Amino acid sequence: MRHPVRPALAGLLLAAALVLTGCGASDSSDGGSASDAKAGANSAAKEAAGSAGAKDSGSGTGRTTPDLTVSRIIRTASLTVQVKDVPKALDAARTTAEDAGGYVGNETTTRDSGGRERTRVVLRVPVDKYDEVLTGLQGAGKLIDRTAKAQDVTDQVVDVDSRVTSQRASVARIRELMDRAAKLSDVVTLEGELSSREADLESLLAQQASLKDRTSMATITLSLTETPVKKAAAKDDSPGFVDAVSGGWHVFVTMLRWIALALGAALPFAALAAVAALLWWKVVRRRRTPAQPGSET
């Protein structure tokens, strides 16, 4: 049989324990509040240093998971097109890019050893207009060469976006600690840490902007060259009647020229020969003529 005093004694002891626990918790809460207010500044630098060592590796809070359903692709292409009029084709390429919502980047114009003009221009167009613009450009003349590339950078974009989010949260935490810091040494330490984290954030933002630009705008490098002047194709290389007459006349004129030159060169010698022959003929004639009778006394 149970003794009636034991239940009463157990209840009395339980009530006393609850009262003592409540008083202790109240005292502890008041003391903790005072201690936090006093030691807040002292622990600020330690908390900042610990956060700096971690550098938000990704396992902590503050990171969000971006949408992985959208692919981020960098599209680039290179075209070499042969056209009759380079300046006209270049104006048409500019218009095509601008009508698509893009713009013209770098542009270089040169001439080769044959005097043919060559222009190289970089066009930036929205990704959704990439195929349309590419088709229009390669149809401007005779396509000589085409190269197209697509680089999937979805993972890189997701990583950079996540790091930007984490770094922003990290900078915000350092600023909160600065607001709570009371000692000058703590403030100096936190300012250095804040400067370092802001520099890292700016670098990440630059990467993010570059990726956004390259994935939203495709790059097309267009090279325009002049079509070489075609020589008239000879249907029949054999000479005709007109060619024969023309060639014969040319030979005849050339022959007369050489004959005249030969006569002119031989004329002085011919004159001397004629004079010598005349003198010789007279001398011979005298010797052969007989003397007349009665001519001697």
Tens digit of each residue's pLDDT (9 = 90 or more) over 71-130: 899 999 999 999 999 999 999 999 999 999 999 988 898 887 777 889 999 999 999 999
Tell me the average pLDDT of the chain.
75
pLDDT of residue 276: 80
Residues 200-208 have a mean pLDDT of 95
Asked if 92 and 232 count as a contact pair (C-beta separation under 8 A), the reply is no
At residue 192, does pLDDT exceed 60?
yes
Tens digit of each residue's pLDDT (9 = 90 or more) over 27-75: 433 443 333 433 443 444 444 444 444 444 444 444 445 455 578 999 9
Return the structure tokens found at 160.
């950079």
CB-based contacts of 158, cutoff 8 Å, min separation 6: 66, 68
Sign for the pseudo-dihedral over CA of 52, 58, 64, 66: positive
132/139 Cα distance (integer angstroms): 11
Instruction: Give the confidence band of 22 by pLDDT, cuts at 50, 70, 90.
Output: very low
Residues 157-174 have a mean pLDDT of 94
pLDDT of residue 294: 52
Most confident segment among 23-37, 209-223, 231-245, 275-289? 209-223
Instruction: Give the confidence band of 290 by pLDDT, cuts at 50, 70, 90.
Output: low
Instruction: Give the confidence band of 241 by pLDDT, cuts at 50, 70, 90.
Output: low
For domain 73-152, the CATH class is alpha beta
pLDDT of residue 45: 43
pLDDT of residue 239: 63
CB-based contacts of 245, cutoff 8 Å, min separation 6: none
- What is the 8-class DSSP label of residue 235? S
Q: What region does 253 belong to: left with phi over 0, alpha with psi -120 to 50, or beta?
A: alpha
Residues 203-214 have a mean pLDDT of 94
